[in-house]
Amino acid sequence: MRRRPGGRRGWARAAALIGSLWLGPGLAAGQGPPGLERYEAGRFVVTAAPHDETLARALLRDAMRRDSFPWLPRPRARLLIQVAPDRDAFAALIGPFAPEYGSAIAIPAERRIVMQGSRAGSDAGNPLQVLRHELAHMALAEFLGGSRPRWFDEGYASFVAGEWGREEVLTTNVSLLWRGVPTFDELEQSFGGGAGQATAAYALAHRAVAELVSLDRERGLTLFFRYWRDNGSMATAIRRAFNLTEGEFETRWQQRTRRRYGALSLFADLTVAVTVLVVLLVPLYLSRRRRNRERLAKMAAAEERAERAERESAIEALLKSVAPPQGPDEAQRGTNS
């Protein structure tokens, strides 16, 4: 995630920080909220509050251990990594220009990364992965310089940080099937939307860089980065490295992404719809089935009572139709006569 200072206030603030960093991160490390400790190794300086010492040391170790990035030369610039002790300090260190949904931010012009500390919420993500993402921004800026499309910057950082879970967002994005995959220009604008829109934009950017990498299985983005740095044009680098125009690559990415995730998103949407129907209809079905059983039981009981009454009535009628037997006196009188 990156921030671009805007307005006179932003540029003045950036100029002041750049001036302090020009003297080296060792002097700049003391800036920021008071009470921060400093941890230094190699080209990295980490500042953090005492309660974040364990996190700061873990970040420093991981940054040193994995201080290289695919298809780029090893970075050399010294960096300041500021671990904010709380949310207010995080906002103060970033300034007013970053979106609220960010958990960290890289500011290449200031050679500075700001991260949330151990008191951040679960939505802040894995701090080691977050730092890897931000360091990838720094490495890309150091090698290429200048400005780069936001979608590529975020896609490369996400790819390098191993954020494969981002693509899961696309499996539930039904708009890919109905409206299609956005153009790169539309994708660029999506990062300025809310958290939901930005989440989809990060996932699509990750997929775009993965698609670009797949164009050269052996060298990946090595030639692409070299050509981009030499002539300063991403479009020219794509053409020279992959024998495709930028428009042809955009069309390829759109078609393959829609084909790969459009059907999955529809299936996921249908699954949700079916689940909702089941949740709504099953109780109605069970209730109706229970009522039917009760009605059948009542009907069976009524039929049994009717049959019993009919049997008793038949027996009574039969008994009445049969003559009563003669007694002994009547039989004797009949014999004597």
Two tokens at 71?
């298809």
Which pLDDT does position 270 carry in this prediction? 37
C-beta of residue 142 within 8 angstroms of C-beta of residue 75: yes
Q: Distance between CA atoms of 37 and 26, rounded to whole angstroms?
A: 12
186, 150 Cβ separation under 8 angstroms? no
Provide the pLDDT for residue 97.
64
Q: Which domains does the chain have, with CATH numbers?
A: 1-147 (3.40.30), 149-308 (no CATH)
Q: Which pLDDT belongs to residue 170?
A: 66
Q: What is the CA radius of gyration of the chain?
A: 39
**Letter string b/e over residues 28-52, b meaning 16 or more CB atoms within 10 A of that residue's CB:** bbebbbeebeebeeebbbbbbbeeb
Most distant pair of Cα atoms in the chain: their distance: 155
Give this prediction's pTM: 0.69
CA distance 181 to 176: 5
Q: From first to last of the 337 residues of the chain, give the pLDDT tens digit.
A: 644 333 333 433 443 343 333 334 443 444 556 689 999 999 999 999 999 999 999 999 999 999 999 999 999 999 999 999 998 899 899 887 666 667 899 999 999 999 999 988 877 889 999 999 999 999 999 999 988 999 999 999 999 999 987 766 665 455 555 557 889 999 999 888 777 788 889 999 999 999 999 999 999 999 999 999 999 999 999 999 999 999 999 999 998 888 877 654 444 443 444 444 555 566 776 777 777 777 777 887 777 777 777 776 767 776 677 656 555 565 555 555 4
Q: Note the pLDDT of residue 3.
A: 42
pLDDT at 21: 38
**Integer angstrom CA distances of residue 128 from 164, 183, 233, 265, 334:** 15, 32, 32, 30, 123
Residue 41 backbone phi and psi in degrees, to 5: -160, 135
CA distance 81 to 38: 10
b/e map 137-146, b = 16+ CB within 10 Å: bbbbbbbbee
